[in-house]
Structure formats: structure tokens, C-alpha cells
Structure 1
Amino acid sequence: MTHDLTVWLDGVLDRIEQQTQVVATGGRWHYSGSDTIGAWTLYDEHWSIATMNVYDTKAYNYSERMPAARNPDYINPDAIGQHAAQNDPTRVLHRIAIDRRIIAAHPVGEHGYCTNCWADSQVRSVDAPCPTLRLLAAAHDTEPGYRTEWGPQ
């Protein structure tokens, strides 16, 4: 079962890594609110990502001027920009590399136990997949191919 989980998890990380590398061309992302340069802007060192225009579509019918009052469901462009900057490709690729090291640090030994977790005197006879690999998998539980039996116990 651990082999299936690690193969699946490697595939998920490969896909995320490939998608991320497509947009990882200019280093860390930064965000500037509209009060700084007049637009909500997400940029890298080449100033080449995006300028965001956010409209309250529930309150705006496109035939009138934008109302001054905003709907409670209004999308906050500052929150979106800050979230995107905090999850830039550089950070995503770093996290993938760390996840791969965690997977490598939890191999299954000849008796079917995680050799890393089994070595911990407080966690004897941990059947594979170990709690660490189960938690890594659970972080991607919405990905195709995830099995509920891999979830944390």
C-alpha cells in the first residue's frame, strides 16, 4: 500500500512542479495594492505577471456606473494579491522539494514498517504507510486517484 501511495504522491508532485515551472520565470512574486500604483498588481522581478481589475458582479449590472456600496460577497483584491504573492512559484517549488525529502526519509523496511518512524522509541511497529506519509497525502486529498484508506489514522 505504501508503494501505491508514494507513486501517487510523486505523480501529484510532478504535475504540480511542471505546472509551477511554467510560471516560475521571474523569481519571487510581490503584490502592490491599488493605493501604491493605481492598480492591484502582482509582479515579479521583471514586472511581468498581472494587473487585476476586480468588479463586484453581484452589485454591478454593466449598464450603470459601479455603485459606491459594495456587496458583502465582494472579492477583496488585496487578499487575492497577497495570497498569490505568498504562494508564488519559488515557494511552491521549495515546498515540493521538501515534500520529496520527507518521502525519501520514510522508506518501508523489510518487515513492512517505516524505518524512520520505527526507529523512534515512542512509535514502535508503525505499519506502512506511516503517519508522516499519510499526512503528506492528505494535503492532496482532492487530487484524482487519492484513496481514503491513505488518510491519517
Structure 2
Amino acid sequence: MDELVRWLGEQLDVDAARSTAAAEELGADWYYDDGFVLARREDDMVATGSQDFLERERGEHVATHDPARVLREIDAKRQILEIHHVIGGWEDEDGQDIGLGCNECGYSAEYSDRGGWCDTVRLLALPYADRPGFREKWRP
């Protein structure tokens, strides 16, 4: 397996583990209500701000990125990775092997020079650029 996809899979695993842990006690669906982020299952408080309440914009942001949503996003990213996998066997008009390409996006010399990974896969990795192990050569 290519190191980009292996590394990205590890990041998704970390996010999934964190989201699952956050959801275990209170539930995965959160909402904002009058200064607080609450877990829908128990109506227990998940987050408050520095003055014991959250301003609407901040609270809605936290609630919008609840564990349920994060897990759905992780699932979608994994499905995109399955569709955009590297394949070989690309040939020129003379039947000569010209390198690797993306199963979904096709062949390009640029993809082949980058191990076959298309911009779609590289863009999926970009939000994790601040994490250890990210390589600048993976940027789109």
C-alpha cells in the first residue's frame, strides 16, 4: 500500500477513535441551545465557553461537528479512497507501459510521477497537513 494512503488511513482511524470515544458516554448527536452544546441522548452538557456559555456561532460550530457528523465524513472519505485507487497498465498508442494512474480520474504523466495518486486523494490528505508524518510532496 502506498504510504500516502496508509498515512491518511491512520489519520482517519485517529479521528474515528476520538469521535467514537466522545460519543460513548453522551451520544453522537449534539446540538446548541441557549449558550450550551448538549448531547441529544441525555441532554447533558458537552461544552461551554470561557464565561460558562458559548456564543451562538461558536456553539453551533461545535454542535455541527459532533461525533455523528465526523464519523459520516470519515466513512465518505474512505469510500472516496476506494474509488480513487492507483492502477497500472496504462499504455500509449504503441502499447508501451506509461505508468500509474487513478482508477477514477485516469492516467496523466503528472499522476504517474506522483505514484499514481490523483488530486482528489491529495486533497483528502490536505486537512491533516499539520499532523506529524505529512509530506509536502503530497500537496496537490
Which category of TM-score, normalised to the shorter sequence, fits these structures? Answer: 0.7 to 0.9
1:96 aligns with 2:95: no
Q: Which runs of 4+ in 1 moved over 3 A?
A: 123-126
1:41-120 correspondence runs (5 A) = 41-44=36-39, 45-50=41-46, 52-55=48-51, 77-110=55-88, 111-118=99-106
Task: Supply the distance in 2 between the matched residues of 1:93 and 1:51 (Cα, whole angstroms).
Answer: 19
Task: Supply the distance in 1 between the matched residues of 2:108 and 2:46 (Cα, whole angstroms).
Answer: 51
Residues 22 and 28 in structure 2, CA contact (< 8 A), matched pair in contact too: no
Normalising by structure 2, report the TM-score.
0.78
* Shift, 1:115, TM fit: 1.6
Task: Supply the distance in 2 between the matched residues of 1:76 and 1:54 (Cα, whole angstroms).
Answer: 8
Specify every segment of 5 or more residues in structure 1 that has no aligned partner in the other structure, as ranges: 34-39, 56-74
Identity in percent:
29
Residues 54 and 77 in structure 1, CA contact (< 8 A), matched pair in contact too: no
Structure of greater Rg: 1
* Shift, 1:96, TM fit: 0.1
Partner of 2:128: 140
Normalising by structure 1, report the TM-score.
0.72
Indicate the structure with greater helix content: 2
CA RMSD of aligned residues (A): 2.0
Which structure has more relative contact order (CA 8 Å, sep 6+)? It is 1
Indicate the structure with greater strand content: 2
Q: How many residues of Structure 1 are paired with residues of Structure 2 in the alignment? A: 122
Letter in 1 for 2:122: R
Letter in 2 for 1:49: M
